[in-house]
Amino acid sequence: MGLIIGLLVLWVVLAVVGFAVKSLFWLAIVGIVLFLVTGLFGGLRGRSRGGLPR
């Protein structure tokens, strides 16, 4: 689960940098898309294991 959280943080940082630098707006879009995909993957992976780990 640590890998998923690490990736989510990385995608948020990429999105913030993309919004901060106007010429890198595409980076913000990529960061948002990857954040959503990683979140969905983590959620589905957690459900397949029978819920959230304790």
Per-residue confidence (pLDDT) for residue 49, from 0 to 100: 65
Q: Which domain holds residue 19?
A: 2-45
Residue 54 lies in a domain: no
Using only C-alpha atoms, the chain has a radius of gyration, in whole angstroms, of 13
Q: Is residue 14 part of a domain?
A: yes
In this predicted model, which residue has the larger pLDDT, 29 or 1? 29
What's the predicted TM-score (pTM) here?
0.72
| Domain-located, residue 52 | no
Tens digit of each residue's pLDDT (9 = 90 or more) over 12-54: 999 999 889 888 889 999 999 999 999 998 888 776 666 555 5
Tokens 């993957």 locate to 41
Residue 8 domain-assigned (yes or no): yes
Domains of the chain: total:
1
pLDDT of residue 31: 92
Residue 53 belongs to some domain of the structure: no
Rounded to the nearest 5°, which phi and psi values hold at 21? -105, 110
Residue 41 belongs to some domain of the structure: yes
Q: What is the pLDDT of residue 2?
A: 86
